[in-house]
Amino acid sequence: MSVPTDLRYTKEHEWVRIEGDTATFGISDHAQEALGDIVFVELPEVGRSIDAGEAYGVVESVKAVSDVYAPVAGEVIEINETLESEADLVNSDPYGAGWIIKVKISDNNADTDLMNPSEYESFLDE
Amino acid sequence: MRYLPHTQNDRQTMLDSMGMQDMSALFADVPSEFYLKEGEIGLPDALSEAGIVKKFINAAEKNRNAINTRCFLGGGTYYHFVPAVVDYVISRGEFLTAYTPYQPEIAQGTLQALFEYQTMIARLTGMEVSNASMYEAATATAEAALMARRVTRKTRTVIAGSVNPRYRAVTQNYLSRLEGDYVEVDMGILGTDLSKVIAEIDDTTASVIVQYPDFYGSVYDLVPLREACDAHKCLMVVAFSDVSAFGLIEAPGAYGADIAVGSGQALGIPMAFGGPHLGVFACKQKYLRQMPGRVCGLTKDADGKRGFVLTLSTREQHIRREKATSNICTNQGLMCTAAATYMALMGDEGLKTVANHSAAALDLLISKLPSHVVAASGAHYNETVLTFESGKKRDAFIAEARKQDIFAGIPLEKFDKTIEAKHLLVATTEMIEEDDVNALIAAMEVAS
Amino acid sequence: MSQQYSSVSGMQHEEPLLFEHAHEAPESISLPGVQADAPSSLDAFKRKKAANIPGLSEPETVRHFVRLSQWNHGIETGFYPLGSCTMKYNPRVNEQIARLPGLAHVHPDQPEDSVQGILGLLHELQGWLAEIAGFKDVTLQPAAGAHGELAGLMMIRKCLDARGEENRKKVLVPDSAHGTNPASAALCGMYTVEIKSGADGRIDLEELKKHLDGDVAALMMTNPNTAGTFETDIKEICQLVHDAGGLVYGDGANLNALVGVARPGDMGLDCLHINVHKTFSTPHGGGGPGAGPVAVNDTLKPFLPVPRIVENAGVYAIETEDEQSIGTILSTLGQTGVYMRANAYISAFGKQHIHKIAQDAVLNANYVLSRLKDKYHVPFEGLCKHECLLTDEWQNKHGVKTLDIAKRLIDLGFHPMTVYFPLIVHGAMLIEPTETESKDTLDAFCDAMLEIAAQCEAGDTQALHDAPLKPIRRRLDETQAARKPVLVWSE
């Protein structure tokens, strides 16, 4: 199970990449594996404000459906529109082309709940 | 009991193999205080098969029906012709006694028929996609209102007063436990003025629901409604109660409807005193994932051959549970097969002929009306409202018609008790012949 | 292999879509009526383009659909042990009587005096269903089980509101419940809280008590539950919920286990929907139509939907208004044609035989369980009711999953059991034989299951992974279907 070292993770198996005041969200390799073949990703509208922990979209496989929750709060600045026609990118490249949205991080963010890669790996082992 | 294959011997052998004495051992986990004493339940004596047939023939003979009368009743249910082939196909045990096609490899028959049904319904209603049925028209209308709330994330529902009062009642009932306004637009009796409906649309409106042809049978242009919906980003829902109309007149899709819902009973399904009928539900492709109910989709099998499966099931209750697009599970599957068979037999030409004859019968009826009975003005398909000088005169006519085994129509106040009791809703289909019309008119003259 | 199964590969026909029968439409069917065109007032509204409905000759239409039918498995074809679905034989006489013109060609708005026969049959059935389920009254309006759930929850809502308890919105649902339960609650503006089942698959009283507070509107339960076992604490469960001020909704999907033997209404439930397409043998039709009448006790009776059929001195009438009613939930009285069949079915059993339905159904399920329990993992020990639950735990060790077992059964000539439901066990296989199967059929099915288990143990599993090979299509790609949905044909 791949767990890149430059990312932070949540207990719901989302990852976040923070670069300056921008954060990119996606679901982890473990999450995509558990869901199976992803067939559809429901994306939020650009401009929407999302709280940390709020469901901002939905990832669907043939027989399962899962909300995806924001690791940090922010305003949606970009969505991965490629997923509308190629949802399987979440399976094949969860940390790259399978990213879901980008947000501009809100000022009042406390990211204490996020796990670093080694914490996430031990969380997966539990 | 002839439906049970076991002999007493079989039963005992099976019990013995499990180390059980008798049948009661099988219910040892049910507290004995709840046991019923065998033979003491409040049911009648068992009937033989011959007894059952006799019982039902006797009961059926107490009813009048559309075959031994002249039936001008409509209001959502219509006496159209049902070809023998339709009934034969849906009597085939492989269609009749199959479950929902959860194991697609051994349900390709049901699935291909559903795919053909969806395709033909989409074409007939002028929409992009169709589901594989709802219960009937009223619940389909309510589901359309719920779907529009999901699509738009808005909560106000506007419904025209010219929508069948029963569809309105069920829609209102479905919405009444949820947040948001439900607005019925009073258009007056026989009103066709859509501007009153348009005036109620605002930016919080999720959907506006109209009926076409409307409850009173009137046909009018829906283009202004489309413009209003675009201006306020709300969904345009077009309901209908006799889908046969679209063999002839422009379908909801041609007016830009976002969702089309209504009754498919006209497509080879008997009236059966109210059901089972067929709820049609079709919409634009872009709203597909918010559509309620089951859908059948095209795919390939492991050898690359074309096949069909139930798909997009993550919308449904068994996966999304409380967030599902609807709670619907069992639907009207067999009625889809009936409708598909019917449409295949008819083709464009047959459907057009059904619609032409249905409309021509009404036109003939109107042309023969005596001067004291007035038909609604404007274009009508196969249904209209006749207005009498008084309730007394109307009822005298209904009674005279009944004496001659004619069901002349439905008093309008039966649907909406606020309407003055002098109107009669009258419908025709291709089952109405010229002499049926003549008999109706004769009764009118006798009663006047 | 010693056992001979019924499945063989016979003559099968590929059949194109209707739209691919590429020829000009033949002369259309001759139609009755006023042989004229629509009036000119409709000219402005005419379709500019035909709908493009193909139109085949009668012989072609018949052959098309008969060929399609031959790709289907129905109860009339073979064993159909779908758990929670009650796939029993559908008597042919029921089809015959439902088609009598005096029942099939009756308009729902005919005057009451012209429909006394059919109203009588419906009213009679209402009474029988109330008697069998142990309740006071029944509404026939709900069109299916899920629609009945909605009606039941609407009545519960209205009853609580009438008590001034508008704030109660919590609906408790066991984690083994049918998915329709939470979906129906959401439609009523209520929310569901899942109760974790106990180690025996039943409702855990201590767990239930934790959730019983002033917010509880109802408990929705299925008894026997979806694991096929009877909720032995049923009386206490109902009492606890009532004491907390809530009501108990019964999902009657599993009534076949009790019909004629015991009555849910006597156990303390406030209402119960009945799937007549399960217990009372109306055909499933490849996904409907069904019907979901709801039986209620005195607490909920005032809130029954309208219209209702009432009897007065031998004359039947339809009541359309009642202040306390939840109102109307369908445009007609209900799926009348389905009820004709249910009436005929109960008529055939009568008071002498009705209990044999549940007895033989439970006998058959326990017999199957007893024959399979040494070779398949049984998650909840003990008696089962009308269906038995197994899992694929032991076959997993050999790389075989429930899905493989199901697909292999197809090649051996059986419809698979319900798979992956209930969700409370991993790799569930829920088997419901029903009372209309012979011992020979049950034995053949069990032999097939044992043969599959033996193949797993022997490591001879390729046939399981490849299955099914015999039907007209092999395993279908559901991922492709969902990723790029194609729901209509385009040339």
CATH code for the domain of A62 = 2.40.50.100
Cα–Cα dist C193/B186, whole Å:
41
In C, which residues are within 8 Å of B23 by CB distance? Answer: 359, 363
A24 domain-assigned: yes
Q: How many domains does chain A have?
A: 1
Cα–Cα dist C181/C177, whole Å:
7
What is the chain B residue with the closest CA to C406?
Answer: B103
Q: What are phi and psi of C442, to 5 degrees?
A: -60, -40
For residue range B284-309, what is the model confidence (pLDDT) as tens digits?
999 999 999 999 999 999 999 999 99
What is the chain B residue with the closest CA to A38?
Answer: B314
Residues C344 and C404 in one domain: no
For residue range C364-419, what is the model confidence (pLDDT) as tens digits?
999 999 999 999 999 999 999 999 999 999 999 999 999 999 999 999 999 999 99
C285, B337: Cβ pair inside 8 Å? yes
Q: Of the candidates C326, C348, C370, which is a domain's last residue?
A: C348
Q: Of the candidates C319, C348, C377, which is a domain's last residue?
A: C348
C381 Cβ neighbours under 8 A, 6+ residues apart: C200
Domains identified in chain B and CATH numbers: 70-81+347-447 (3.90.1150.10), 84-343 (3.40.640.10)
Q: How many domains does chain C have?
A: 2
Residues C105 and C164 in one domain: yes
Instruction: Give me the helices (H) in C105-262, please.
Output: 116-133, 145-162, 180-187, 205-211, 234-243
For residue range A35-67, what is the model confidence (pLDDT) as tens digits?
999 999 999 999 999 999 899 999 998 878 889
For residue range A60-106, what is the model confidence (pLDDT) as tens digits?
988 788 899 999 999 999 999 999 989 999 999 999 999 999 999 98
Mutation site, B290, B299, B314, B319, interface A, largest A CB count within 10 A: B314
Between C301 and B448, the more confident residue is C301
Which A residues, 54 through 113, put their C-beta within 8 Å of a C-beta on chain B? Answer: 60-65
Residues C199 and C237 in one domain: yes
Q: How far apart are the first and last CA of chain A?
A: 14
A70 domain-assigned: yes
Residues C318 and C277 in one domain: yes
Cα–Cα dist B334/B338, whole Å:
6
Record the tokens describing residue B239, joined without a space: 């309901």
Average pLDDT over residues B11-37: 97
C479, A87: Cβ pair inside 8 Å? no
For residue range C75-96, what is the model confidence (pLDDT) as tens digits?
999 999 999 999 999 999 999 9
For residue range B402-420, what is the model confidence (pLDDT) as tens digits?
999 999 999 999 999 999 9
Q: CATH code at C174?
A: 3.40.640.10
CB pairs under 8 A between A and C: 15
Residues C320 and C367 in one domain: no
Q: What is the percentage of chain B residues whose pLDDT exceeds 70?
A: 100
Cα–Cα dist B199/C206, whole Å:
56
B348, C108: Cβ pair inside 8 Å? no
Residues C154 and C299 in one domain: yes
pLDDT surpasses 70 at B103: yes
pLDDT surpasses 90 at B104: yes
Of the candidates C400, C412, C367, C402, the residue with the CA atom closest to the CA atom of residue C385: C367
Closest approach of B313 to chain A, Cα-based (Å): 7
Contact B123, B253 (CB under 8 A): no
C37 domain-assigned: no
In C, which residues are within 8 Å of B324 by CB distance? Answer: 179, 183, 186
A120 domain-assigned: no
Q: Does C107 reach chain A within 8 Å, measured CB to CB?
A: no
The burial class, CB within 10 Å (0-12 / 13-18 / 19+), for B40 is exposed
Give the nearest partner residue to B120 out of C38, C53, C179, using CB atoms: C53
C482, A88: Cβ pair inside 8 Å? no
User: Could you tell me the strand order of the sheet in which A22-27 lies?
Assistant: A8-9, A14-19, A22-27, A101-105, A74-79, A49-50
pLDDT surpasses 90 at B318: no
Q: Of the candidates C313, C348, C383, which is a domain's last residue?
A: C348
pLDDT range class, residue A111, cuts 50, 70, 90: low
Q: CATH code at C458?
A: 3.90.1150.10
**Which residue do the tokens 């069920």 mark?**
B170
Residues C211 and C102 in one domain: yes
Average pLDDT over residues C178-186: 84
Considering chain C, what is the average pLDDT of its residues?
Answer: 95
Which C residues, 125 through 184, put their C-beta within 8 Å of a C-beta on chain A? Answer: none
C389 domain-assigned: yes
User: Could you tell me the strand order of the sheet in which B410-411 lies?
Assistant: B374-375, B383-387, B423-427, B410-411
- Tell me the residue range of the domain where A53 lies: 8-108
Residues C181 and C113 in one domain: yes
Residues C361 and C342 in one domain: no
C483, A60: Cβ pair inside 8 Å? no
B289, A40: Cβ pair inside 8 Å? yes
C76 domain-assigned: no
A75 domain-assigned: yes
Mutation site, C68, C139, C258, C445, interface B, largest B CB count within 10 A: C68
Average pLDDT over residues C217-224: 96
Average pLDDT over residues B135-147: 97
B314, A40: Cβ pair inside 8 Å? yes
Which pLDDT score is estimated for C5? 84
**What ipTM, to 2 d.p.?**
0.97
Considering chain B, what is the average pLDDT of its residues?
Answer: 96
Mutation site, B9, B81, B82, B106, interface C, largest C CB count within 10 A: B106
A2 domain-assigned: no
- Give me Rg for the CA atoms of chain C: 25
Between A110-114, C223-227, C358-362, the lowest mean confidence (pLDDT) is in A110-114
Chain A adjacent subunits, 3+ CB pairs under 8 A: B, C
- Tell me the residue range of the domain where C320 lies: 94-348
Residues C170 and C267 in one domain: yes
Give the nearest partner residue to C485 out of B132, B312, B361, using CB atoms: B312
Geometric angle at alpha carbon B324, from C480 and B225, rounded to 5°: 90
C89 Cβ neighbours under 8 A, 6+ residues apart: B3, C75, C76, C281, C434, C436
Distance (Å) of CA C12 to CA C9, C18, C407, C459? 8, 18, 19, 32
Which pLDDT score is estimated for A110? 59
pLDDT surpasses 70 at C32: yes
DSSP strand pairing (B259-263 vs B235-240): parallel
pLDDT surpasses 70 at C286: yes
Between B297 and C28, the more confident residue is B297
Instruction: Give me the helices (H) in C373-491, please.
Output: 393-396, 402-411, 439-457, 462-466, 478-483
Mutation site, A35, A37, A92, interface C, largest C CB count within 10 A: A37
Between B304-318, B328-342, B359-373, C126-140, the lowest mean confidence (pLDDT) is in B304-318
C485 domain-assigned: no
Which pLDDT score is estimated for C176? 84
Q: What one-character DSSP code corresponds to residue C194?
A: E
For residue range C446-486, what is the model confidence (pLDDT) as tens digits?
999 999 999 999 999 999 999 999 999 999 999 999 999 99
pLDDT surpasses 70 at B210: yes
Which pLDDT score is estimated for C289? 97
CB pairs under 8 A between B and C: 704
Which pLDDT score is estimated for C1? 45
Which pLDDT score is estimated for A44? 94
C27 domain-assigned: no
Residues C195 and C248 in one domain: yes
pLDDT surpasses 50 at B209: yes
Q: Does B304 reach chain C within 8 Å, measured CB to CB?
A: no
Which pLDDT score is estimated for A64? 82
A1 domain-assigned: no
Residues C286 and C245 in one domain: yes
Q: What are phi and psi of A39, to 5 degrees?
A: -110, -20
In C, which residues are within 8 Å of B351 by CB distance? Answer: 51, 53
Which pLDDT score is estimated for A112? 60
Name the CA dihedral angle for C127, C128, C133, C137, rounded to a multiple of 10 degrees.
-10
Cα–Cα dist C479/C74, whole Å:
26
